[in-house]
Amino acid sequence: MDSLLHEIWEDSEGLAGLILAGEKGEAARKLFEEEGKKLVHTFYAFSHFEAMTIYYDYYGWGEYITVHEYDKLPYKEWGNIKRPLEMSRSNLSFFKDNRNI
């Protein structure tokens, strides 16, 4: 797994979404299709940071910046770190549990 294929989807208003192609993006793709989004572009990237940089370039949004150094790791090294989705879920549960702080 040197690089992964990514897909950019858009709805009728131009709102975009970036997902992995293939099996890893199946759930999101199904949701996008149900919402009427269309596949507009595909590309390969070696890391999350590279994928987001290409995504930003595609839309002319300027430079992509991350505060997470693991975003720059090649995908093939991700097996040894906690996945961003898992982190997001734990952060989400923290915020849900602490809404009134």
What does the pLDDT look like over 5-28, one tens digit per residue? 999 999 999 899 999 999 999 999
Q: In angstroms, rounded to a whole number, what is the distance separating the alpha carbons of residues 101 and 10?
A: 37
Does the model's pTM come out above 0.95?
no
Q: What angle do CA 7, 4, 17 make, to 5 degrees?
A: 25
Tell which residue, 33, 75, 13, has the closest CA to residue 50.
Answer: 75
Asked whether residue 55 carries a pLDDT value surpassing 60, the answer given is: yes
- CA 4 remoteness from chain centre: 12
Domains identified in the chain, total number: 1
- Structure confidence by residue, pLDDT tens digits, 22-53: 999 999 999 999 999 999 999 999 999 999 99
Helix (H, G, I), strand (E, B) or coil at 17: strand
To the nearest whole percent, how much of the chain has pLDDT over 90? 65
pLDDT of residue 17: 94
pLDDT of residue 74: 93
Range of the domain at 53: 4-97
Strand partners, 74: 47
